[in-house]
Structure 1
Amino acid sequence: MTTQPPSPGSGTGTSSPPHKKLKSSVSAELPDVIPTNGFTEVTEAPIKAAFLPNDSMGTTETIPKASSSQSQAPVKPKGKKNRKQKRTLPEKYSAQDVLFHDVRDFLGVEYVDGLIGKKEGSEWEAPEELKLFEEVTLTVGAFTVSGESISLFPGDKPWAIITPFAHPGDRIRAKIHKHDRLCSFADLLEILEYSEEYRGGEGDRRKYPENGCRYFGECGGCQLQPVPYPLQLQHKKRTVELAYQRFSNLHKDLIPGIQDTIGSPKQWGYRTKITPHFDAPPKWIQKQLKESDGEKKGWECRIGFERKGRPGVMDIEECPIATPVLNKKMTEERKRVQNTIMSFTRGATLLLRDSLPSPDPIPSSSSPFSHDTAPIIPAEQHVAITNHKQAVYERVGKYIFSFAAGSFFQNNNSILIPLTEYVKEAIFPPSPAASPASKPPTPTPTHLVDTYCGSGLFGITLSDKFEKVAGVEISHDSIVAAKKNAEMNGLQDKTTWLCGKAEDIFGGLAEKGFEGGKSCVVVDPPRKGCDEPFLDQLLHFKPLTVVYVSCNVHTQARDVGYLIRESESRGREKGWKYVVESLRGFDLFPQTAHVESVAVLRWIEN
């Protein structure tokens, strides 16, 4: 997770220039919003396929230069008739694309689509009265998916203002710093009137001054800190709902109701990995040190995370969502860097990872880990690992895992048992009656294929329910780690770990006894989701159940939509298809707007 803030109010940060006074303040009538379970969100109708020209993915849209509304004709450059300005649309499913949908819903789908349909480029033109670096007074209308506020600019042209750290109902003063498509971005200067509807959570420092993070409002890592935790979970449920409305391209009847988001057992002190960073000293300060006997003036070594809305690193001494052992280690690492900063010729990123102490002896295939006899190690006895290549040890239920500190593993250990148990129950529902979409009942899978398996989290934690388990990855290092973890847990005879090729990810499974008609496939890809060749191979393998675990619900919705549509097309003649049985969010990162999502797809005969 990256964070983005200005220096805390400790007197060490640079101060901002005095704010300009407002010339006028105009009240605005806000567009309608729909409260969902008491949580105000922008709303979304099923997306029109043609709302973007050519439905492009990050392509360049050529837009004529907008004509001036003043009476004086614009001056045309010599020798260049009909000069055009190029604008790059955001990559589909990216954070910028999701924000565009938020703005589109907020301003009105018909208005936005109509404006873009004119192809005049006016969606890029901010209202004339809205100038860069101008201060405006606004009433916040809703949250965006990313947890920022969205307000209607009080002018004749519908236009949205995106501002961090404000909540629906707040009356705020903000400073415009960038114009974009149908919206402008602003820095929050002051909250003039607080709305209490989305405040009062444990991290609300107005109500609980000793709680939460003292850098909130400057560091961009935690967007929802003041919001009560039940409302944070509602926001994340709504995020899953909007993702499937916007990006799955499925009829609403094919999308089941989104289940309530599963909360994290820990909302603070849960994060087991952080990566603070720092900039190298500029050349001029090194020269100054030589000329002034080592006295530093005009420069400060800052170690922390990115400022929100401003360039540069913010100095951060502690992170309340990180585990205690990481905060303790960060104090030591900060001193080390500060004492040796002049030896760095470029900036660097620190790695701090929470780990159990190295077991003695280390479990092996001949002497596997036993949860019955292994003691539970209290958090204060954990260690912090800073070497990317050093082994980290982590326990999930009755299993132990080891992986290189610099490799991927989920960063909230407290929710891994609820997550893996949910996946297990979703694969094996209590009875056929619990799955109304599966009629006649789908056969029970006996084999598990864990794709994008990493170091084997799902393959190992779900293994007790299957006769055989296979993990598939294109990363050789991940396969080595997964194989070692299977051996440490005594599962070497039950599991197979294959380093597959992207173009033949399921190759080699058949000779190991795996076939789709008796298998469940777990899919846990990176943020970009799955590519089309993988999804085609998955449809060809035809597993009984697919469980898609995603850290980006927007690309998950795209991929699930593809699987459902393609299965209907390919299975029509032989009478089979996939249905979406359930959708549910998991909160791996409390206090942030991020949500993970689990989709369960079931093979059925028509």
Structure 2
Amino acid sequence: MKKNDVVTITIEDMSHKGEGIGKSDGFPLFVKDTVIGDVAEVKVIKLKNNYGYGRLMKLVSPSADRINAPCPIHKACGGCQIQAMSYPAQLRFKEGLVKNNLMRIGGFSPEICEKMEPIVGMDNPFRYRNKAQFPVGEKDGRIIMGFYAGRTHDIMECEDCLLGAEENRKLLDAVKEYMYANNVHAYNEETGKGLVRHVLIRKGFTTGEWMLCLVVNGSSIPNPRDLCGRVLQAEPRLVSVSISPNTTRNNVIMGSSYEVLWGDAYMKEQLGNITYQVSPLSFFQVNPVQTKKLYDKAVEYAGLTGKENVWDLYCGTGSISLFLAKDAGKVHGVEIIEPAILDARENAERNGITNAEFFVGKAEEVFANQVLGKENPEKIDVVVVDPPRKGCDEKLLNTMLEMKPDRIVYVSCDSATLARDLKILCEKDYQVEKWQCYDQFPHTVHVETVVLLSQQKPDDVIQTYDF
């Protein structure tokens, strides 16, 4: 096989990036825009020692799981990698992705993986995002807003992403009208000139409140009263309009601060019985429907009776911590981002929760200092971890092994690092009891997983883990 050869292959699997995988004479090819079950004519565009990449030229026979994707730009946009796959097939793919990582990286047996609880999908896998960030640019003298094409910073015009709220479009139109009326230019990455970089929109699914924030290449905007008037006319449910200055020439979207132009510094959102305040800079799960289900499962796995001492590491704005607090004796949350901890404390006060305290710092350092650093370390009943994609710091895993909590609830957004961390924990003192996947991001390759680990009994061995 050589570059530019055209071969016909059957797509038998998919990568973690959503590329189809098929073989020609036993040689694997990764092919974008294909679905498991497709028979495809593929042009070889790149070869490595043990695999290569192909470009889809023609579908010889489409998969039974292939559908007509409703979004006209899904192939070019970097967001929805698997929108051309039926939703039931997406769920099977995501379950398989997690299982494969647990076996390949974590060393768990196939029999154990087959005992997982079924993945939790969505009844309606569209319009689920409560947050959207639209880059702003100019093209042929026009202001354009949309999303970056895959692996580029070329803006593709799209003011109505099918994963976001329908109301986003009228807010973007109002921002455009303001920019035209006040001769405000979009930011240009190449020159560093221009003012408006991004438009951030948040929607409170349960409260009905809305927030809009302009990310700007400067400290102010001209005629802010006009902007506020236009966006409020477009969406009267707005409770906060702000700007976030960002003059750095990098890929970071938001600035480090924000200034309120109208309304409050935050909007409110509710999950279950907990009300959260969310600022423009706050991290908050983008799919509230699935988040509520996932948090309920985390509480179930924690097995709380009202007396437990719980640590929630990588706690963000305290979203899981406050869910746990209603059933725990005491909850301690740790997060490295100080504004998130300020939100967590205010969220606790807003909800009348007095048995939760929050610490700023690295999870691996605060946990060790607050627990192991004491003369008489307190008994830890449950540890909940919800780390970023890179997984848990090894020092934190070792601290957990040293503290020996009765149960560990691991919430993961990356099954590869999840498998790596579970392997470390299960080679020592813990066994996996059960786990479940949650489809937080339909039409993308991302999947959340929640796992319950408990201490091994003296006669337990790794091979007998019961998922």
TM-score category of the 2 structures, normalised to the smaller one: 0.7 to 0.9
- The equivalent position to 1:416 in structure 2, one of 291, 294, 306, is 291
Query: Aligned residue for 1:179?
Result: 47
Which residue of structure 1 lines up, in the alignment, with residue 334 of structure 2? Answer: 472
Whether 1:537 aligns to 2:399 is yes
RMSD, aligned α-carbons = 3.3
> CA 1:280–1:541 in structure 2 vs 1: closer, same or farther (change >3 Å)?
farther
SS of the residue 1:330 aligns to: helix
Out of 141, 148, 164, the position equivalent to 2:32 is 164
What are the Cα deviations for residues 489-541 of structure 1, in whole angstroms up to 9, with x where unaligned?
Answer: 001x2111122445532123589999664521110000000111111111122
Where 1:332 maps in the other structure, the secondary structure is: helix
1:326 aligns with 2:168: yes
C-alpha separation in 2, matches of 1:173 and 1:320: 30
Partners of 1:251 and 1:140 in 2: CA distance: 25
| AA in 2 matched with 1:600 | L
Counterpart AA for 1:162: F
Equivalent residues in 2 for 1:555-566, closer than 5 Å:
555-565=417-427
Q: Distance in 2 between matches of 1:152 and 1:413?
A: 40
In structure 1, give the amino acid aligned to 2:40.
I
Alignment match of 1:194 (pick from 45, 62, 69): 62
- How many angstroms apart in 1 are the aligned matches of 2:142 and 2:28? 37
Distance in 2 separating the partners of 1:178 and 1:471: 47
Equivalent pairs, count: 405
- How far residue 337 of structure 1 moved from its aligned partner, in angstroms, is 5.9
The residue matched to 2:267 in structure 1 has which SS? strand
Q: CA deviation at 1:302?
A: 4.5
Report how far residue 166 of structure 1 moved. Answer: 1.8
- Conservation of the 8 A alpha-carbon contact between 1:448 and 1:468: yes
Residue of 138, 147, 169 corresponding to 1:305: 147
Say if 2:100 is the partner of 1:242. yes
How far the C-alpha of 1:251 sits from its partner, in A, is 5.4
Structure with the larger strand share? 2
Note the 1:97-136 alignment, pairs <5 A.
127-128=1-2, 130-131=3-4, 136=7
Distance 1:251 1:526, change over 3 A: same
**Kept after mapping to 1: 8 A contact 2:333/2:359:** yes
Match of 2:430 in 1: 578
Equivalent pair of 1:474/1:500 in contact (CA under 8 Å): yes
Conservation of the 8 A alpha-carbon contact between 2:136 and 2:187: no
- Evaluate the alpha carbon distance shift between residue 326 and residue 358 of structure 1 in structure 2; reply closer, same or farther with a 3 A threshold: closer
Q: Which SS does the other structure have where 1:182 is aligned?
A: coil
- How far 1:475 sits from its partner (Å)? 2.3
3-state SS of the aligned residue for 1:486? helix
Structure 1 residue matching 2:184: 3-state secondary structure? helix
* 1:484 alignment partner, one of 322, 346, 350: 346
Aligned identity (percent) is 28
Q: Which moved more, 1:541-550 or 1:498-507?
A: 498-507
Distance in 2 separating the partners of 1:448 and 1:327: 43
CA distance 1:248–1:342, shift in 2 (3 Å): closer
Q: Give 2:439's aligned amino acid.
A: D
Q: Distance in 2 between matches of 1:241 and 1:411?
A: 25
SS of equivalent to 1:555: helix
Amino acid at match of 2:91: L
Distance 1:163 1:337 in 2: 41
For 1:592, the equivalent position in structure 2 comes to: 444
- Structure 1: state its 5+ residue gaps: 1-126, 206-211, 282-295, 360-378, 430-442, 568-576
- Report the Cα distance in structure 1 between the residues aligned to 2:58 and 2:13, rounded to whole angstroms: 18
Matches within 5 A, 1:70-89: none
Report whether the alignment pairs 1:222 with 2:80.
yes
Shift of 1:175: 4.2
How far apart in 2 are the matches of 1:445 and 1:579?
23
**Does residue 395 of the first structure (1) align with residue 270 of the second (2)?**
yes
Distance 1:310 1:522 in 2: 36
What is the Cα deviation at residue 137 of structure 1?
4.4
Name the CA shift for 1:461/1:421 in 2 (closer, same or farther; >3 Å): same
Q: String of CA shifts for 1:75-113, please: whole Å, max 9, x gaps.
A: xxxxxxxxxxxxxxxxxxxxxxxxxxxxxxxxxxxxxxx
3-state SS in 2 of match to 1:350: strand
2:322 is paired with a residue whose SS is helix
Contact 1:352 1:385 in 2 (8 A): no
- Aligned equivalents of 1:473, 1:427: Cα separation in 2: 20
Q: Please report how far the alpha carbon of residue 142 of structure 1 lies from its aligned counterpart in structure 2 after TM superposition.
A: 2.8
- Tell me, in whole angstroms, the C-alpha distance in 1 between the residues paired with 2:154 and 2:165: 25
In the TM superposition, what whole-angstrom CA distance separates every residue of 1:263-292 from its partner, at most 9, and x where no partner exists? 1344110111222224567xxxxxxxxxxx
Counterpart for residue 20 of structure 2:
149
Q: What's the counterpart of residue 273 of structure 1?
A: 131
Tell me: CA distance 1:387–1:234, structure 2 relative to 1, closer, same or farther (3 Å). Answer: farther
Q: State the match for 2:310 in structure 1.
A: 448
User: In structure 2, what is the equivalent of residue 67 of structure 1?
Assistant: none
C-alpha contact (below 8 Å) 1:445/1:519 kept by paired residues: no
Counterpart pick for 2:370 among 491, 508, 531: 508
Alpha-carbon contact 2:9-2:40 (below 8 Å) kept: yes
Q: What is aligned with 1:526?
A: 388
Partners of 2:128 and 2:21 in 1: CA distance: 29
* Contact 1:259/1:584 (8 A) holds in 2: yes
CA contact (8 A) 2:314 2:363 kept: no
- In structure 2, do the counterparts of structure 1 residues 333 and 261 end up closer, same or farther at CA, with 3 Å as the change threshold? farther
The verdict on how the C-alpha distance between 1:401 and 1:445 changes in structure 2, with shifts beyond 3 A counting, is same
Distance 1:256 1:483, change over 3 A: farther
Q: Is the 8 A contact 1:579 1:601 kept in 2?
A: yes
Rounded Cα–Cα distance in structure 1 between residues aligned with 2:173 and 2:147: 15
1:450·1:459 contact (CA, 8 Å) conserved in 2?
yes
Contact 2:82-2:443 within 8 A present in 1 as well: yes
5+ residue gaps in structure 2? Answer: 211-234, 245-257, 259-264, 459-467
SS at match of 2:326: helix
* C-alpha deviation, 1:341, in angstroms: 3.3
AA paired with 1:320?
L
Instruction: Please tell me whether Structure 1 or Structure 2 has the larger radius of gyration of its CA atoms.
Output: 1
Matched with 2:227 is none
Q: Which residue of 2 aligns with 1:570?
A: none
Deviation (angstroms), 1:164: 1.9
